[in-house]
Chains A and B, each alone.
Chain A
Amino acid sequence: MNPSNEAEPHFQGKVALITGGSRGIGAAVARRLARAGVNLVINHRSGRGRSGELAEALCREAEEAGVHAISVPADIGKKDAAGELFSKAEDEFGRLDFLVLNAARAPFKPWEKLLERDLRQLVETNYLGNVFCMQKALDPLSRQGGAVVFLSSLGSRFANPDYPLGSMKAAMETAVKYWAESYGDRGISVNAVCAGLVKTDSFKTLRMVDPELEKLPERFFLSPEEVAGVVHYLLGPASDVIRGQTIITDRGVSNRLRWPTPPG
């Protein structure tokens, strides 16, 4: 990212917190918002691995783009950790304008094989974690109004092999509607983006479960940047008039029951 003159009045100087922001769609959203002039809190799950390094590198990119960014490790599925995440954001920036609920973590297994810990992980990160974040974000977002976008997937409405995460995505799409109604009066808009096939880390797992996905034509796929563009739109002035909606962003793949063969 280079310092650019793309800063937009609606966004400039505001603050966004992105959960699961070190890679994939979350990182693409961070880059898109940084270009618009938004300061960033980039959350990643604590633990072993390079997600911390990726988040730090992303912060440096954002700083080069002229905004301030911090990375905060926290497992949002733990209420205390989620609380600390928002405290650090408050301490650093003193305000919060946008919340992007992107973090997801789930086993890819057939339902009958799910252990209790798999189910708890499924619910803790993908449902409880989002609720904890929304609860913590309410006060700061209420001060001046703000917008929330949840990242969903087509698994919320179509059965995918070994993808129990889809059920949590469906629950969250419903929560989005409830939150939009509950907090609209405080000036908080809440929407979701239901992304189609995006070649992120999650896709790598899906591809192992369903190798046929690899054979789909390229035109069925979206880039993380394209999804980030829709998130940016829903955080922008459009959030005044779009409330509680889930915008399907899949190049129209889900519009048909079947495609002519061979597709492409």
Chain B
Amino acid sequence: MPQNMINDERIMQEVYDAIVHTTGVDRDSITPDSSLVDDLGVLSLDFLDVNFRLEQVFGVKMARKFVLEHVDELFGEGVAIDENNDVTEKGVEVLKMRLTEAADDLEPGTPVDELPALVTPRTLSAAVKDIFGFLPEKSPAGSDWKTDEGTRIVCSETGKPAVLPSGDEVVQNWLTSLQEEKQIF
């Protein structure tokens, strides 16, 4: 992405706003590494509201599916999630790469139902940044980009919003590259 279109701090603050706005959680209780489920008491279904709000704010399409769902769709059912709905060794390996510190303590055999606890403001912020990472240097009109209301990226000439891949496409792209590089699946 062209540098500093939307800085990291702004993205994190918008993630905080989305959590506060949609769940009523006290803003002072949130840290970048708070588990939305374990620390903030957010229902996993409320993630949908948080994501929807982020989509409205940033003009992006957040991932509908968790990364392990994509692994199984791309590389075969059972690769990341086994028949008991637990995370496999490969699944853990992928999550540690994708979520870094948030997945530090994850072990094979963890029930998939427990994965929403890994979601933190930092992982949500990273998901938004990953999408913005696909912003081309110039708009289709050949112009620079500018921000609209500080959070939406539009063409400085036409005002048209940037067309960015969805969060799901970003994850699929990352997994495909990972496979090409490391052949882990």
Contacts and interface: CB of A to CB of B under 8 A. Distances in A.
A50 B43 contact: yes
Contact of A208 (B51, B73, B111): B51
A138 interface: no
Interface residues of B, number: 24
Contacts of B49: 204
B85 interface: yes
Interface stretch (A108-116, A141-149, A172-180): A108-116
Contacts of A113: 73
How many chain A residues sit at the interface, stated as a range, is: 10 to 19
B27 to A, nearest CB: 20
A47 interface: yes
Interface string A108-126: 1100010111000000000
B33 interface: no
A208 B77 contact: no
B51 A50 contact: no
B44 interface: yes
A115 B111 CA distance: 18
B44 A49 contact: yes
B43 A49 contact: yes
B172 to A, nearest CB: 11
A49 B72 contact: no
B1 interface: no
Interface string A175-206: 00000000000000000000000000100110
8 contacts: A48-B116, A109-B65, A117-B81, A117-B85, A201-B45, A205-B48, A207-B48, A208-B62
Interface of A: 47-51, 108-109, 113, 115-117, 201, 204-205, 207-209, 211
Interface of B: 37, 41, 43-45, 48-49, 51-52, 55, 62, 64-65, 72-73, 77, 81, 83, 85, 111, 113-114, 116-117
